[in-house]
Amino acid sequence: MIATIQPSQLSGTIQAPASKSSMQRACAAALISKGKCLIYNPGHSNDDKAALQVIAALGAKVNHLSDGSIATDSTGVDLSSPGTEQSRSTVVNCGESGLGIRMFAPLIALSKQSVTIQGEGSLLSRPMDFFDEILPRLNVTVSSNKGRLPITLSGPLQPRDIEIDGSLSSQFLTGLLMAYAAAEAKGVTITVNNLKSKPYIDLTLKVMQAFKLNTPRNKNYREFYFEASNTGHTTSQTRYTVEGDWSGGAFLLVAGAIAGNIEVYGLDPDSAQADKKILTALRDAGAGIAISNKSIKLFPGKLKAFTFDATDCPDLFPPLVALAAYCSGLTTIKGVSRLAHKESNRGLTLQEEFGKMGLKIDLDSDTMQIHGGKGLKGARVHSRHDHRIAMACAVAALQAEGETIIEEAEAINKSYPDFYGDLVTLGAEIKIKPQTIHIQ
């Protein structure tokens, strides 16, 4: 798909998309909470759909209701055939979701049955060495493709005191925390060194509490101690509302800061989501912004360069680059090392794709420097099959000189399938057409 974007002025109101971070965690919690759940405001991105498919494959009943909510009924991870031994081969596909594979693998390992986990797209090249190293210490047999997918697991996982490295991604820890809770861990501790993206662990613990799971005691993000569960099994139905997505919402907020007067609903300023730090960047850049409990209003202002540490919120790099492009001076963003294993190598991708639009970006070890305020020119860019790159280029194009063409623009479906439509609702001039593939 090709998206052609003309310079545009925005105005109006829009609802932020549902958070896939919240949605996917809710799916996992619904699977292991052993009961009936109702999920309100569910997301419908590709990652959200993959999570629902995974829990259905693992034994949960999933029903889409007429009011838009989703009902689940689960007895936990159940891969057995009725009346037979757990001996049949099972394959689970996590799509292209990095959170999905890292969170669901430990849950899949709760089963005695051998299960093969597959993925798609960029997920096939992401490192999975963590599972080869950690899961065997928890009584899980692991077979992987040299640290890559597909990976085959056979449990059941047994909670034990364990020490892990949290520097690559907090998503591995999220999976272990949920697996320990599902396995009724008692008196055991997960010790974590150099944990990154701590706010995402706050979100995990918040979701676990909402689903009445045995939630560990967080000792300064260094130790997570599981006491004996006193929640017990409950027959009451869990009701959970998926939060608005600060990751996707960040693109809307930046769009408002550079291209118009807009009002965004559905973003909770008190959320545990890491990407709500976009508000700090917007304020530091001098954007016009007004925040209430119901909405966030953005209007263009004289933007200036800012300094920002994105180590704990690396998904903010793409919208931050789009913002910094229109900020006079040299913007510095820390945390580039967190970008290597995303859907693309985002540091290099941002440098190359925004370079086509005339923006100079320097990469120096863990730091990115953006030379902004000199204007952008419309260009032909490529999403690199990365949803956040596509959205960043689209936002930047709103005030560029001339039209911008985004190839493989459908990458947005991974997290925010309504993105282009929402921009159009706000007044953006965007045309979408199928992409012609030439075969030689």
User: What positions carry a catalytic annotation?
Assistant: 315
Q: What is the dihedral of CA 61, 67, 69, 75, to 10 degrees?
A: -30
Query: How much of the chain is helix, strand and coil, in % rounded to 5?
Result: 35, 25, 40
Residues near 89 by beta carbon (within 8 Å), at least 6 away in sequence: 114, 116
- Backbone phi, psi, residue 222, to 5°: -100, -40
- What does residue 216 show for φ and ψ, rounded to 5 degrees? -70, 160
User: Which residues are CB-contacts of 219 (< 8 A; sequence separation ≥ 6)?
Assistant: 225
Q: Tell me the sheet residues that pair with 127.
A: none
What is the DSSP pairing of strand 238-241 with strand 36-40?
A: parallel
Query: Strand 217-219 relative to strand 223-226: parallel, antiparallel, unpaired?
Result: antiparallel
Residue 123, strand partner residues: none
The CA–CA distances, whole Å, from 102 to 274, 340, 341 equal 18, 16, 13
CA distance 392 to 387: 9
293, with CB counted inside 10 A (0-12, 13-18, 19+), is exposed
Residue 28's alpha-carbon distances to 80, 357, 408, in angstroms, are 19, 41, 30
Distance CA 255, CA 60 (A): 39
Contacts of 438 (CB under 8 A, 6+ apart): none
Measure the CA–CA gap between 93 and 23, rounded to whole angstroms: 17
Q: Is the dihedral of CA 107, 198, 238, 46 positive or negative?
A: negative
- Other C-beta atoms closer than 10 Å to the C-beta of 299 total 16
